[in-house]
Amino acid sequence: MRRTLFESLTHGPLTEPAPKPDEAALAELAESVQRAARVRLGRSLSIRHVDAGSCNGCELEMHALSNAFYDLERFGLRFVASPRHADVLTVTGPVTKNMREALQRTYHAMPDPKWVIALGTCAAAGGIFAGSYACVGGVSDVVPVDLHVRGCPPSPNEILKGLIALLGHVNGKAGIP
């Protein structure tokens, strides 16, 4: 016991250090989302999330957007608890049969205009769960999807890039430069 305690005090951690995130790139990405949201909506962007049956890997990356490092609320992006307050619906996982109705009800509870982002490979077409007896399929099999952000799981930066791409696309369709 004494030896273990001594070794833990004299040796560093055995795990590899986490890669240093690029703070400048993050700030640039988040500001782009904020600008696009203000041009399109005249205000900040509210996001409602539904886990339709994921393994939670995608949630971990998405929740990282709210941690002290990413701190997205400073850029006018926030997750909301009610679909009635949301502009964007993010969905992770393949849609399980148990979650199909909840996803549909969430979508229909959101006011227009609204957009849906399918996050992760499973949300795109079922991923490793495709064909399971418990799954309906990808998110687009249940509600209309405006954007797929692929990856297993997609990183927080990829999710931000997806939001920028979505808002840019919406602005383009509306004739907003």
Contact set with ligand SF4 (CB under 6 A): 54-55, 57-58, 92-93, 120-122, 127-128, 152-153
Least distance (Å) between residue 94 CB and ligand SF4: 7
Least distance (Å) between residue 124 CB and ligand SF4: 8
Query: Residue 19 belongs to what H/E stretch?
Result: none
Least distance (Å) between residue 15 CB and ligand SF4: 20
Contacts of 53 by beta carbon, 8 Å cutoff, 6+ apart: 93, 94, 95, 96, 98, 99, 122, 129, 134, 135
Distance, C-alpha 168 to centroid of its chain = 17
Least distance (Å) between residue 111 CB and ligand SF4: 28
Buried residues in 145-156 as b, exposed as e (16+ CB within 10 A): bbbbbbbebbeb
Peptide bond into 153 cis (omega under 30): yes
Contacts of 151 by beta carbon, 8 Å cutoff, 6+ apart: 120, 121, 158
Peptide bond into 17 cis (omega under 30): no
Least distance (Å) between residue 173 CB and ligand SF4: 28
Q: Which is nearer to ligand SF4, 58 or 99 (CB)?
A: 58
